[in-house]
Amino acid sequence: MRALRAWLSRFGGLFGRRQRDRDLADEMESHLQMHIEDNLARGMTPAEARRQALIKLGGVEQTKESYRERRGLPFLDTLLQDIRFAFRMLRKSPGFTAVAVLTLALGIGANTAIFSLVDGVMLRSLPYPHSDQIVYFGWLDKSLIPDLSVPEFEFFRDRATKFAALAGFQGYGDQELSQGGTKRWITAGFVTDGFFETLGVNPRLGRLFGREFTRPGAAYAAVLTDSLWRTAFAADPNIIGRQIILDNQTYTVTGILPSGFKYTQHADLFTSLHLGSNMGNNGLNTDVIGRLKPDVSFSQAQAEAALLGAEFFAQASAEQHQGSGVLHLDRLQDYLASDYRTTLLMLLSAVGLLLLIACANVASLLLARAGARQKEVSVRLALGATRSRLLGQFLTEGLILGIAGAAVGLAGAVAVLRVFVSAIPWDLPSIDRITLDGRVLLFTSLIGIGASIAFGLASFFQTRKLDLNSTLKDARGVVGASRTRASLLNALVIGEVAISLMLTLGAGLLLKTLYNPYQEKLGFNPEHLVLMHTPFRSSMSDANVWNFERNALARIQAIPGVQSAAIVSVAPLHGQGNLPAQRDGHPEDSIGGTEYRPISSNYFSTMGIPVLRGRAFEQSDFSSSAPVAVINETLARDWWGSQNPLGDRIVIGEYQGRQYLPTPQPPLQIVGVVADVKGMLLNRPAPAMVYVPALQGLAINGSTDWLIQTSAPAGLAAALRKAITDVAPDQRIVDLEPMTQLISASVAQPNFEALLMGTFGALALILTLVGVYGVLSFQVVQRTHEIGIRIALGATRGNVMRLVIVRATTLAVIGVAIGIGAAFGLARLMASLLYQVAPTDATIFAAVAVLVLAVAMLASYIPARRAMRVDPMVALRHE
């Protein structure tokens, strides 16, 4: 207790220093005076009295000093002093401070933001209870798509024993909600029973719907989100059990979801899927998720899924169903994040490298500064400063730089993360919840602070070799050469150049991947094409659809400025729609999900898709019922190889129950082969595709895409809308946009990645610029004397400039060489992010190498000019 009391009192002694000093001085003074008076009384002379009193006291200053040490906490006192001094030093060179702090802040901020992103997407669990028990079912090796068909889903659901719940999800769709006279468009998610049970979500009101709502012909059920319930139904609790109208179809509201519920995308409500009631159920269109029973391990569930998958293939006879696949489980979290894993890893590496560059930069700045401060250090040593005191001082400066960097970095990270999250083009349940991660911030801050302290230390150890005499005598303020520092600085420059080369290279490769789609054979000409999308009510029959389309097409074609107009079930890059298909009589040639496109007769000419063999559809195909098809190049190559597919036939398959029907539709005669066109994704090869005349087609997508080739877009939108509503007054029109815009949208994700990488690359270059500039400037200052002599001895300005530039070039070239070597090593990480660009693309490598070298040259320009302008008289006079 006493000790604590004394410590507190000593801590208090750190403050109010002046008052206490005055007190002590007064006390000493009165002590001396009393002693002197006594001495005088004993008969000493005034001078002797004073002298004796001072001797007896042992020196006023010594007493004060030991008193002060007792009064406060000496180490804390020193620390405060160091901090004050450090701030003064940093304020005195604002350029250095700003660059060092910003550099660190950049590294720390970017790392914190990206780590938080990775944490939110990959590490933190999904926002559902016991989310590690939620799994995703997918086919491996069956087709390009892992999704299941509805019959497959039912097959597994009815047999699986390891799952507490299993459910199917068929994406989202826009539907029209009618309430009395008012109509509003809402987004619905289509799910089977068990969907919310699988996610572990309980309704806040009412109940979830059961299987009775998913049988063909049954009533439809709807579960509303909290927000729709509040906005459209005024949070009326009596809504439960009532009927609502969506697309002229009645749905019974069974429950309200808790607020904040989200699956992969925004939805206003979820409706019950009727399984097996329409053609769409035959495609691979169902995401199947399940929740493990509490006592079941993931591997047990995995084993059961594999078994069921094999059983499914065994049950379908060879003729009815071909191909094979393995039913595979993923944790839902991993499945949802899998698309972004590589991106995130790449971003992580990128920011990691950026932090390295930042640290290298601060290091080179500190080292260079340590050189410039040698004189100051020598003076302080000569005045009696101890080495440990100097060490403390350097440490404090490093610490303050690091902390300032971390603080600015935190502010930056908050802002950057906000931008990131709003710009992320990813569909994930957890995206809205991504927040700044405290642990990450702590970690990166420690790295940054650690780096600045470490290099503060390094610069301190430089001073150990300091020879006081020579430094003080050397009027130039810096010692001639510290070899270790010179080589350390060179190593830092080389490392920085190498790392920024790698970052810029990564950015360059991604940018080229991004650029490629524009060069990529889309398979059609997007110029002068306008896209329009019309979703149908589910009540619309196939025949009605074609009637509506034909009439509207005629009106659109009559619009002035419209050269041509066509329809297709799904335009390229706008989605997918697939059905099982088989080459007639060749069960070995079947595809579970062949892209299927009902089109109007002039679709190919409107799109500019060349017909390679045979013919396009003709008007006669739209009036006769002779079933015909046009296939794309990929399908022709896959099934016919070098043979001629014309005249051969294909079958569009159909499930009934769990069996393939051999001929659900009459086989289609192939009348033509057209060039490949992209499917849903720009960065994937064109899928196998079958085109049929819209009259004969099955409206599996429930909507039509309109493609209008036109030269006069002004006023076009209104005219198009009028053409549609003239035919069908209630028809909804969405996505009216130029085709080129759709292309940009489909590169949004690579865009985002390239944007980030581009930013990191640019930052790396800027940091390198600063780093190289700092080191070279320092070296020029260091060599001022030598340069002066050279000039005095007749070196031309050009020679001097070359001296600096050659040094910069040498370092940069070494750095570039190392960076290129390392980039080759990292090629594999990049490969999966690139499309049609080799990770060792020679053009990009060359371009980036030149760019980095140019940056190094640029960085050396100012120091070189400074060297060139050295006045020999001034430089030598310093001697």
Partner 1 sequence: MTDKASDKSNYKSSGKTSDKTDVQQGTLALMILKTLASMGALHGYGIARRIEQTSGNLLSLNYGTLYPALLKLEQEGYIASEWGLSTNNRKAKYYKLTRAGRRQLEREAQEWEQTAAIVARFLSPEGERT
Sites of contact with partner 1 (CB under 8 A): 2, 5-6, 9-10, 23-24, 26-28, 30-31, 33-35, 37-38, 56-60, 62-63, 66-67, 69-71
- Contacts of 206 by beta carbon, 8 Å cutoff, 6+ apart: 240, 241, 253, 254, 255, 256
How many alpha carbons lie under 13 Å from residue 298 in its C-beta half-sphere? 12
Q: How far is the CB of 1 from partner 1 (least distance, A)?
A: 9
Closer residue to partner 1 in complex, CB, 31/433:
31
At 645, list the tokens. 């597919």
3-state secondary structure of 246: strand
Opening angle at CA 227, ends 223 and 229, nearest 5:
55
Closer residue to partner 1 in complex, CB, 78/576:
78
Residue 84 is classified by DSSP as H
Q: How far is the CB of 384 from partner 1 (least distance, A)?
A: 16
Closer residue to partner 1 in complex, CB, 38/871:
38
Q: How far is the CB of 82 from partner 1 (least distance, A)?
A: 21
Pair 860, 772: CB distance under 8 Å: yes
Closer residue to partner 1 in complex, CB, 35/433:
35
Closer residue to partner 1 in complex, CB, 58/294:
58
At 14, list the tokens. 């750190």
At 149, list the tokens. 């068909």
Pair 16, 26: CB distance under 8 Å: no
Q: How far is the CB of 45 from partner 1 (least distance, A)?
A: 20
Q: How far is the CB of 38 from partner 1 (least distance, A)?
A: 8
Looking at this protein, which amino acid is placed at residue 10? R
Q: How far is the CB of 76 from partner 1 (least distance, A)?
A: 15
Q: For the packed helices 374-382 and 438-464, what is the interaxial angle rounded to 10 degrees? A: 70
404 CA to centre of own chain: 27
Pair 701, 570: CB distance under 8 Å: yes
Q: How far is the CB of 78 from partner 1 (least distance, A)?
A: 15
Nearest residue to 247 via CA among 646, 537, 591: 537
Pair 520, 845: CB distance under 8 Å: no
Q: How far is the CB of 775 from partner 1 (least distance, A)?
A: 45
Q: Cα–Cα distance between 784 and 879 in angstroms, integer?
A: 11
Q: How far is the CB of 385 from partner 1 (least distance, A)?
A: 18
Q: For the packed helices 784-792 and 797-825, what is the interaxial angle rounded to 10 degrees? A: 130
Pair 769, 858: CB distance under 8 Å: yes
Closer residue to partner 1 in complex, CB, 9/231:
9
Closer residue to partner 1 in complex, CB, 57/326:
57
Closer residue to partner 1 in complex, CB, 15/85:
15
Pair 352, 344: CB distance under 8 Å: no
Q: How far is the CB of 762 from partner 1 (least distance, A)?
A: 58
Closer residue to partner 1 in complex, CB, 31/476:
31
Q: Cα–Cα distance between 206 and 203 in angstroms, integer?
A: 6
Closer residue to partner 1 in complex, CB, 38/212:
38
Q: How far is the CB of 22 from partner 1 (least distance, A)?
A: 12
At 548, list the tokens. 């509506």
Closer residue to partner 1 in complex, CB, 62/202:
62
Q: What is the DSSP string of 381-445?
A: HHTT--HHHHHHHHHHHHHHHHHHHHHHHHHHHHHHHHHHHHH-----TTGGG----HHHHHHHH
Q: Where are the alpha helices (DSSP H) in 124-165?
A: 150-159
Closer residue to partner 1 in complex, CB, 68/865:
68
Closer residue to partner 1 in complex, CB, 67/752:
67
Q: How far is the CB of 84 from partner 1 (least distance, A)?
A: 25
Q: How far is the CB of 17 from partner 1 (least distance, A)?
A: 14
Closer residue to partner 1 in complex, CB, 34/411:
34
Nearest residue to 502 via CA among 827, 100, 166: 827
Q: Cα–Cα distance between 752 and 754 in angstroms, integer?
A: 5
Q: How far is the CB of 354 from partner 1 (least distance, A)?
A: 50
Number of residues written out for the chain: 879
At 10, list the tokens. 């000593």
Q: How far is the CB of 857 from partner 1 (least distance, A)?
A: 59
Q: How far is the CB of 373 from partner 1 (least distance, A)?
A: 31
3-state secondary structure of 374: helix
At 587, list the tokens. 């069960």
Long-range contacts of 20-24 (CB under 8 A, 24+ apart): 20/71, 21/64, 21/68, 24/64, 24/67, 24/68
Closer residue to partner 1 in complex, CB, 36/681:
36
- Report phi then psi at 33, rounded to 5: -60, -45
Q: How far is the CB of 18 from partner 1 (least distance, A)?
A: 17
Closer residue to partner 1 in complex, CB, 30/161:
30
3-state secondary structure of 520: coil
Nearest residue to 693 via CA among 542, 584, 537: 542
Residue found under tokens 């809402």:
186
Q: Cα–Cα distance between 567 and 691 in angstroms, integer?
A: 12
Q: What is the DSSP string of 557-595?
A: HTSTTEEEEEEESS-TTS---EEEEEETTEEEEEEEEEE
The Cβ of residue 655 has, within 10 Å, a number of other Cβ atoms equal to 23
Closer residue to partner 1 in complex, CB, 38/236:
38
